Structure 1
């Protein structure tokens, strides 16, 4: 889930990938109606967040802003715990193998590009609206993180799947509830109002928990700066990079001819859009979320050469095969060659982490030692441990 792709999840979002939240204030920049169409077009960006962020930058410096009471409820911007604000060394050391450092690096590159190519030129062209105090990349980065964590996004209609996601919106008071996977309330949207509805009985004095979506711990720490302690996050997942499966298959080849044949199969899968250089197979605690892609990849990379030639020829005529499926409970029933490739892929994935499962277990089981860890160390440990537990279960199922 990356902010610049325009997919936003948060306290009130609703998207098909993270099944999470968001909503709408009046336009806070008073002169927005006077902007020319050229200027409006100049604010277009990959993220789609620029108008909202400029509005926040303007209101933050306005002494009589009607939004001041809302801003007073925000966390201190200089103390946000998103990994994008961690020192790079700490981020790489604590979250190695989780996918978070790579996601953050993309965020930082795109935030910087958006700020210097769109936001700063606009503020300089309207110096009467934006004082030098808010012309800051660091402040812009902090506001991106805040919007990432606190904004809402009006959901698209069911028949609007091909449209770009709606822009994020800030809604005071609607963003105050915390998230857990086992939530007891859910946000409902209509054209006229937002309504937080209890999904189960809530005892007096107990906290009301919203859901930001069915989000894995790596998504929670990336977007919000926290993770749920194991085993509370029933939506947790672990990724196996697609290229890792390719590498595991290449390790099993005996000579150059076999390597060339395997590369041919990989290229075929890429053309069929089953795999990609930056994609990942996503495995949850109870299901493989990318079952079609993983099942097809295992089948194609493991099938005999003659069978692959026939399979490739059929695909060339546009035939679709729909019989492949791969649920967690089906893993022990897979062909031995499939299980071997999946197991080797998991083993390669586990090597990318800084520590092994036993080290994490020992630390989590020692309450005194765990209490000495910093907040960041505790959250990162929960992210890593949850992923490793999922991967080790796959190892057991492929034994």
Structure 2
């Protein structure tokens, strides 16, 4: 059987009817340069060897899979496991593709890395990569997220990055992407726009998935070693969807493994109160690619809300839209309250403080465990919650009322 990963996307970056590259003319030659460079170095033994060395000796990979014994007992039913991307250097999965994008930029002769960030984890990871490779770094971040994720803003600045506050529109992740694209146009000769998820024009959805594939490769091998079998269910939170594609890619050809993407339902299913794009969106274009999009009455990307800044996006990676359409991945939701309950539960019962983004996957596992006795659920714990603790405790206290 031909592997799904070998055949998808096609050569033009289409995942079925989603993906592609719809670019303003000034950017077309620069994205062509990126595609050609990635096609060349992704097959290079030197590139692969250097990336493996970085992952082992700088990032601290492989990250472990942990059996969440106490949470499993609390919920009853299924046994819950977590792939611990919170233990990856910088505290989240984002460094997996940022170090690789830094290597790509080095190969292309670029001197600067630039990107958008929501929760700040991608910004921290890219600033880390820039410091490692001796490059400049420019990060665009919405003012709302700057206020919510102050610790990560401090970390970016300590690492030498220039943080550009975005004050227009919803002042969140979508606007940060808009702002960064505008800045990139004038710097494309010397900079690489290191897109922070499996979104954007081709080749980024494929490239970021490939760089995050290490999560799924490790998790599959580790789970088999721990239990002697594959998990029944694999779940991850989905905003743009990079951490989810990372772990899903390790199990995509295993028909016996159910894959579950957990979107943020925010405070309600009303438009503007959530960021559950697959659950409520429709076909459309955003940031140079075709996917599912949450739209307002004028057909424009709608305002979104979630307690987790890293999931605050009115689109989704085109591969997720495709996997939803063909039925390989099941997409569901968790709301703010469920995510916060999961945040406190994992902290108190397992000694692991999760990122609010990852807490959506924890919420799914807690909800599904009782209904699936004798089965196993593996979640991708995509990041740690250091960045969130001030915001959560100042806004919601210590969880005694939830």
- On whether the aligned pair clears a TM of 0.5, the verdict is no
TM-score (norm 1): 0.27
Q: Which structure has the larger Rg over C-alpha atoms?
A: 1
TM-score (norm 2): 0.27
